[in-house]
Chain A
């Protein structure tokens, strides 16, 4: 089991090597799923092993980084979905896939909320959860 954590950087924190120092201090293997940063700050989505999560939380708190655990994934409106599969080849982590019976499947654990699938759905069945 992995857990996904969204880190929010203010402008001054963006200038510091925060994540590098967290990794160095904790020795935790951090997987960066997504990052959007500029000089005004930004956010990084990481995933870590379940057993490492608490150590990462405290290291982040110590450095004054705002963070939030992401338990959500893209939402599928199953009443709307026509199982066409237009989304599956766009999904970078194969969170969206076609099952053996040709219906759409969603592995919420794999979703990195990149949102590329959302506008690509021809019947608007994919929705962004509120973070």
Chain B
């Protein structure tokens, strides 16, 4: 039985003879020599991750102005920071968007610009008090002008994450990146066998007070992260570090196309190999770390799991789905994660980074629960009109015109023999076709039909109408067969009449 203490390992680090390997090297060592030999041989395993972590931000203290101001609202390069605390403290969140540049610039970019030493335009408003009379302020600062600039991230370093794909007929833009229609690509996040929490999945050595590499500086684990979900191996960390010591190499503002802004955060955590159990978990390989492939085309909290994959399969760059080869994009940078694990290894070898024992363990038995909601979700199935008049592609246009005139509606789904929706004709299409000498509905129908599912929340349907500038969608089942139709009128009635 191998037994080591953190003090013994730190002593070796001081003497310069600690054996430090990266998590990827440890996988090979455990594979070839087994966990017992690995525990004897290795003292520390270094990990790394570098991905967009939206739940990140920084506390800033500006110092007092003269005359003084109690900031009620403050903007940094037009990105609003939270000032609901004392007079000149503010928290800039990575996902907050610029009020002038929208998706192009956000809190993550402000943080990167601060780290780069760039000038930041500051604007503040206040209501004025006897002790803080000033009501407006405008100035320019750099990170050096701030008393404190502390990166404090509520949720970082997800143990593992999910893979995403899209069943819909249109491209969707998500926090998992751009997802092409009909399962044409897959994205995934996390660095698998390099990811810190995967290497110590019961958090024996990672807890409050653990010293870590963060953004290029030395920081600490504060607490478990928000949404910490240890029972499902989805642990998270709340982290802290001095922004003034960080580097833009390991802290980068990010734009997630048509989703928002974020911050790439580089984190590396050393795992002390105290015994064989830790050697075994630190040696877990990508083949052993599972990840669910979810359909982000379903706009619900509980998205269907299409397949269970491993990080090893995903790093191959393509997976098999429904008999087709589908290209895969990682969203976390394996290259920079490796660089972090290497850098942390060097720091420890040079005696510039020593290990700390946690002063409080992270919980291993809590769960991440859904939001308590007062209202029932209204679905497309609940509001749709079930008796839908349909057309066939070979029907004459005059028939559709007659239906529209008689029945007072504007959408005519075109179906095939099995009631599958293959097109749609609106009253507008009829108007356009008049005078063009068109005869059959198949000549004028729109073939790329935007549809909804019965269990789709009405909010998601409303978003589709808005996004595509349309006024109605056929509701279909899993095989594309027509079940009903929802129009913007149906949705207006819901709002007008109040939700039942």
Contacts and interface: CB of A to CB of B under 8 A. Distances in A.
Contacts of A121: 255
A82 B336 contact: yes
Interface in A78-104: 82-91, 94, 97-98, 101-103
Interface string A1-26: 00000000000000000000000000
B256 A89 contact: no
Contact of B252 (A82, A97, A119): A82
Contact of A85 (B326, B329, B338): B329
B330 A84 contact: yes
Interface in A98-131: 98, 101-103, 116, 119-124
Interface stretch (B177-185, B388-396, B430-438, B463-471): B177-185
Contact of A87 (B317, B329, B332, B336): B329
Interface string B295-336: 000000000000000000000010000000011111111111
B350 to A, nearest CB: 24
Contacts of B258: 119
Nearest to B184: A89
Nearest to B262: A122
A124 B328 CA distance: 20
A83 B262 contact: no
B257 A119 contact: yes
B334 A89 contact: no
B220 interface: no
A85 B333 contact: yes
Nearest to A83: B335
B329 A82 contact: no
A88 B317 contact: yes
Interface in A5-54: none
Contact of B177 (A86, A98, A124): A86
A88 B331 CA distance: 10
Nearest to A98: B317
Contacts of A102: 333-335, 338
Interface residues of B, number: 31
A82 B180 CA distance: 22
A124 B127 CA distance: 39
B343 to A, nearest CB: 15
Given A98-B317, A122-B52, A86 B335 contact: no
A124 B304 CA distance: 32
A85 B336 contact: no
B187 interface: yes
Given A82-B336, A83-B334, A102-B334, A124 B317 contact: no
Given A102-B335, A122-B262, A89 B51 contact: no
Contact of A122 (B256, B317, B328): B256
B254 interface: yes
A84 B145 CA distance: 33
B228 to A, nearest CB: 25
A122 B333 contact: no
A97 B317 CA distance: 9
Given A122-B262, A122-B264, A90 B180 contact: yes
A21 to B, nearest CB: 28
A84 to B, nearest CB: 4
B20 interface: no
A83 B51 CA distance: 10
A120 B332 CA distance: 14
B317 A123 contact: no
A122 B103 CA distance: 11
Nearest to B165: A89
Interface of A: 82-91, 94, 97-98, 101-103, 116, 119-124
27 contacts: A82-B264, A83-B336, A84-B51, A84-B52, A84-B332, A84-B333, A86-B187, A86-B330, A86-B331, A87-B329, A88-B317, A89-B180, A89-B186, A89-B326, A89-B328, A90-B180, A94-B327, A98-B317, A98-B330, A101-B335, A102-B338, A120-B257, A122-B52, A122-B254, A122-B255, A122-B257, A123-B252
Interface of B: 50-52, 177-178, 180, 185-187, 252-258, 262, 264, 317, 326-336, 338
Give me the 9 closest cross-chain CB pairs, A-B, nearest first: A89-B329, A89-B185, A102-B334, A122-B254, A83-B335, A89-B327, A85-B330, A102-B335, A84-B333
